[in-house]
Amino acid sequence: MGAVALFALQGLSHLVRPPFYGRLFLRHLVEIAYFSLPVVALTAIFTGMVLALQSYTGFARFNAEGAVANVVVLSITRELGPVIAALMVAGRIGAAFAAEIGTMRVTDQIDALTTLSTNPMKYLVTPRLLAGVVALPFLVVVADVLGVMGGWLIGTTKLGFASLSYLKATMDFLQTMDVVSGLVKASVFGFVITLMGCWCGYNSKGGAQGVGAATTAAVVSSSILILALDYVLTEMFFAR
Amino acid sequence: MSGDVPKIRLRGLAKAFGEKKVLDGVDLDIRAGHGMVILGGSGSGKSVTIKCILGLIQPDAGTIEVDGRDILAMSRREREELNDRIGMLFQNGALFDSLPVWENVCFKLLAQKRITRAKARDKAAEVLAQVGLAASVGDLSPAELSGGMQKRVGLARAIAAQPDIIFFDEPTTGLDPIMGAVIDGLIVDVVKRLGATAVSITHDMASARRIGDDAAMLHKGKIVWRGPAASLGHTGNAMVDQFARGEREGPIQMELRR
Ligand SMILES: Nc1ncnc2c1ncn2[C@@H]1O[C@H](COP(=O)(O)OP(=O)(O)OP(=O)(O)O)[C@@H](O)[C@H]1O
Ligand SMILES: [Mg+2]
């Protein structure tokens, strides 16, 4: 645990010391943000749809069907958008980073970097961390919009809401804080995902099997951390 | 020459992995501007010794001096400056498979900003030609190369920045005999032309005699013999002679390694 924190600090400390690997940062940014779009979009839409349906049946018992739009937008922006996007990215990127860096470790490529006048932390870890912190909020904005659209789709086609009044209810209830807290969460999750991917890969040993183990460890640990930190951050933002 | 400070001086170098003592007091002097060949059975710790000198493995005990300066006591900065002057060919090549060959070859020059990316391709072609590879190889990815070609690209990468000290971990393993001789010639040439100090690990005695001025043998964690590479095979040391001639009978017994 302390070792991971030290690793993270080391990775971050290179942010302020040249040389900077802008090219690598952009490559990882595209890898995370652009190529995760399909998965994040699909999961967000379906989550919004299910949420509308479920909350409708639930609220119908109390004759409070009107609250569906509010519930959907709040749940998506505050919780489900960030968490679902992060879990999807953890599966894709956490695994990919751990596998790539792990392979570099067991084939001496990380040692080779050192002998080639390049700091491996700066070259491999720092650009990835930064890309994660930047990419996740972007993905969460997409997830927020599509999640709400999913709810709206079900609300208007199946649950009999009028299109405009559904959207109005959505906007009326939405507060800046809801979105901002979601985006802050997203950045934290992006950091955690890339950190665990890099850490597990960087410390892997023992050939193909070791790389496989590192990949699994990266996905499992970042998923757990995402959910745990989600609670902590929610408590910080809203429990007052 | 005996009065000169050796380029690299190892004293009492020790390293254990868990219970297993790999190095157990290695003492070795490596002369500047000469070729040193390190011999030793598989798993005897040759690669570990080199990785200790490169700072990739932290030894448990002992000192390592380069140009008379204790490198284990150096600051990170000084260490990096030293590494700028060192080249290394890894046993398995260790090429970056996310980068094309030309970027691999010029990696160090690019990292040190001694060359622009625009010029790097031409420079890579030049160095690749020295190791007998066509310029078109530069655009391939390492995964598209044969094992021997990977080795040669690794060699090109090690020498591209014209280092002062170069380590070759089995430079000719996996190459055909003719290419092996070409690479040996190249190593000798690099030492002569750059005035570099070359430290090579090899199991190939013909190659050892070609690239080495001096030779040393590592056995059970210690240097058991050192002498001129030309004498390999008839050194008078029973262990070294057995090893150099590849005889089954002799003081070195095949043992099960733990
Ligand atoms: N990172 C490591 N962790 C644990 N053990 C290691 C490590 N690196 C090397 N060893 C052990 O140290 C011993 C020496 O390894 P080394 O790679 O130096 O052998 P070598 O002399 O280069 O052999 P070869 O000629 O086969 O390349 C081996 O028994 C190996 O298992
Ligand atoms: Mg070896």
Q: Where does residue A219 fall: left (phi above 0), alpha (psi -120 to 50 degrees), or beta otherwise? A: alpha
B176-193 CB burial, b ≥16 within 10 A, e <16: eeebbebbbebbbebbee
Contacts of B70 (CB under 8 A, 6+ apart): B63, B64
Q: What is the ipTM of this complex?
A: 0.90
Looking at CATH, the fold of the domain delimited by B1-82+197-250 is given as Rossmann fold (3.40.50)
Residue B112, token pair as written in the block: 């040190």
Q: In terms of Cα–Cα distance, which of B165, B180, B155 is closest to B36?
A: B165
* pLDDT tens-digit series, residues A166-213: 999 899 888 888 999 999 999 999 999 999 999 999 999 888 999 999
Q: Does A118 touch chain B (CB under 8 A)?
A: yes
SS3 at position A68? helix
CB distance B42 to ligand 1 below 6 Å: yes
Structural domain includes residue A133: yes
| pLDDT at position B2 | 45
Asked if A114's CB is within 8 angstroms of B111's CB, the reply is no
Structural domain includes residue A108: yes
Structural domain includes residue A137: yes
In single-letter form, the type of residue at position B3 comes to: G
Mean pLDDT of chain A: 93
Task: Count other Cβ atoms within 10 Å, centred on residue A231.
Answer: 9
User: How close is the nearest chain A Cα to the Cα of B219, in Å?
Assistant: 24
Residue B193, token pair as written in the block: 């032309």
Q: How confident is the model at residue B254 (pLDDT cuts 50, 70, 90)?
A: low
Question: Quick check: B256 pLDDT over 70?
Answer: no
Q: How confident is the model at residue A238 (pLDDT cuts 50, 70, 90)?
A: confident
A137 alpha-carbon distance from chain centroid: 8
SS3 at position B49? helix
The two beta strands, B222-228 and B214-219, are: antiparallel
Structural domain includes residue A8: no
Structural domain includes residue A14: no
Structural domain includes residue A11: no
Structural domain includes residue A58: yes
For residue A70, the enclosing domain spans 34-237
| pLDDT at position B252 | 81
Contacts of B164 (CB under 8 A, 6+ apart): B85, B86, B194, B196, B197
Higher pLDDT, B57 or A1: B57
* Cα angle for residues A114, A115, A119 (degrees, 5° grid): 25
A88 alpha-carbon distance from chain centroid: 7
DSSP type of residue B226: E
Structural domain includes residue A4: no
* pLDDT tens-digit series, residues B89-122: 998 889 999 999 999 999 999 999 899 999 999 9
Question: Quick check: A240 pLDDT over 80?
Answer: no
Which residues of chain B make contact with A118, given a CB cutoff of 8 A? Answer: 107-108, 111
CB distance B173 to ligand 1 below 6 Å: no
Asked if A115's CB is within 8 angstroms of B96's CB, the reply is no
Backbone angles phi, psi at B204, to 5 degrees: -100, 110
User: How close is the nearest chain A Cα to the Cα of B31, in Å?
Assistant: 21
Percent of chain A with pLDDT over 90: 75
Higher pLDDT, B247 or A81: A81
Q: Does B111 touch chain A (CB under 8 A)?
A: yes
Query: Which residues of A, range 22-81, sit inside 8 Å of B by Cβ?
Result: none
| pLDDT at position B1 | 45
Average pLDDT, stretch B211-228? 93
Q: Contact, B179 vs B153, CB < 8 A?
A: no
Q: Give pTM, 2 decimals.
A: 0.90
Cα–Cα distances in Å, from A35 out to A47, A138, A152, A214?
Answer: 20, 12, 26, 22
CB distance B43 to ligand 1 below 6 Å: yes
Question: Quick check: A92 pLDDT over 90?
Answer: yes
Q: In terms of Cα–Cα distance, which of A212, A152, A195, A193 is closest to A36?
A: A193
Count of domains forming chain A: 1
* pLDDT tens-digit series, residues A145-176: 999 999 999 999 999 889 999 999 899 888 88
The residue of chain B nearest to residue A107, with distances taken between CA atoms, is: B94
CB distance B91 to ligand 1 below 6 Å: yes
Percent of chain B with pLDDT over 90: 66
